[in-house]
Amino acid sequence: MNIICNGTQLSEALTRVIKALPVKKTIPILEGVKLSAYGNTLTLTATDTELAIQKTINADVKIEGEALVPGKLFGELIKKLSSEEQIEISFADDQNVVIKYMDSVTSIKAMKLRDYPPIQEFEYDVEFAMLQKDLKDMIIKTIFSAATDDVRPVLKGCLLELDGEEARCVALDGYRLAVAKKKLEMAIPYTSAIVPAKNLSEIYKLLEEDEEAAHISVCQKKIAVDLKHTKIISNLLSGSYMKYQSSIPTNFETTITISKDMLENCLERAYVMSRFEKSNLVKLDVKEGKLTISTNSEFGDINEVIAVFTEGKEVQMLFNSKFILDCLKVIDDEYVKIKFSTPTSPSVIVPVDGEKFLYMVLPLRNFSR
């Protein structure tokens, strides 16, 4: 292998690819980044076997070939060469990858390429495109609700559902549920995939906030997200996801319309005061035209009043302030609706109009304690 490429491009590509390197020390070979030089491109690949990230950049390929280098070391070294116009990379003696720039030479001991796991192309069952920014938005609006413990492994993933012209992303952990929806350009036969939240978070970071499309292919075991020069392949979680739709209540006794920012700021203060106890207990008290938020801990008390638009009965409920805060933090709307039924049933947070998101939060316990 012998190529010449640009330092900035190589450094940027590496920064992205090494996100797929295993976080913990596992099998040594997985700590490598694979370089593949063919045609007029250099492709970089890293994988922890659950997630693979591939990035392709332009290169002047003199001799085609492949090499495997220690990923972290190579990444750090190239980062310090990111201002170089031209970097020559060659791998000729099966021992060392040689990097030349200006009058200087660096060589890195290569890793054994033949042991590296192949990134297989798969036969997809469904393929569709959506705007990168739409996919990004669906992920950020739901991922925080995925379970972090191992009680039900399937809940450590987010459910991606394609249903006609609608794409949905769903996450739930038994205490709360998040659903975000986007419209698709064309109708897709019903498809679902459970993507590990950990991998979805890496996909999120690679998506751009612009009008570019992401091409997504799904088969039973894998999902691939293709972003022009970047390809991400993630394993899917097996098992069946919860029938979440039936758990969302449809009848409510009380609905309030409230300024998102005012509620968020107020709950943040309540959280500061209550965060020393595990349940972050906060009391919401809805009376005609106002919401009173209160909390008390061994350090002090908070009592705040926010003017709201109320429909229905008065209600008092206890929540974990963090669960409501997590939702509010990712909502961009100026106002939201919160719907309550009985003090022991879940409440939901929805937009003032439409159905682009829905959050369901379980109350902490019966208020009559």
Between 72 and 229, CB nearer to its own copies: 72
| Interface segment toward its own copies; rule CB under 8 A; list 8-16, 105-113, 117-125, 174-182 | 105-113
Between 31 and 48, CB nearer to its own copies: 31
Shortest distance (Å) from residue 103 CB to its own copies: 4
Shortest distance (Å) from residue 271 CB to its own copies: 9
| Interface segment toward its own copies; rule CB under 8 A; list 21-29, 30-38, 133-141, 265-273 | 265-273
Question: How is residue 144 written in tokens?
Answer: 């925080």
* Choice from 4, 29, 81, 184 touching its own copies (CB under 8 A): 81
CB proximity list for 16: less than 8 A, separation 6 or greater: 53, 55, 206, 230
Nearest to 33 by CA among 86, 108, 105, 111: 111
Between 172 and 308, CB nearer to its own copies: 308
Shortest distance (Å) from residue 273 CB to its own copies: 7
CB 254 within 8 A of CB 339: yes
Residue identified by tokens 């300024």 is 259
Q: Distance (Å, rounded) from C-alpha 125 to C-alpha 236?
A: 14
268 near its own copies, rule: CB under 8 A: yes
CB proximity list for 133: less than 8 A, separation 6 or greater: 207, 208, 209, 210, 211
Measure Cα distances from 13 to 33, 165, 211, 264 in Å.
11, 34, 21, 38
Residue identified by tokens 């995925």 is 146
Between 105 and 187, CB nearer to its own copies: 105
Instruction: Tell which positions 276-335 bind its own copies, by CB under 8 A.
Output: 298-305
238 near its own copies, rule: CB under 8 A: no
Give the x-and-dash track for 47-76 against its own copies (CB under 8 A): -----------------------x--x--x
CB 317 within 8 A of CB 345: no
Q: Distance (Å, rounded) from C-alpha 243 to C-alpha 7?
A: 50
State the residues that interact with its own copies by CB under 8 A. 70, 73, 76-77, 80-81, 83, 96, 102-109, 265-266, 268-269, 272-273, 298-305
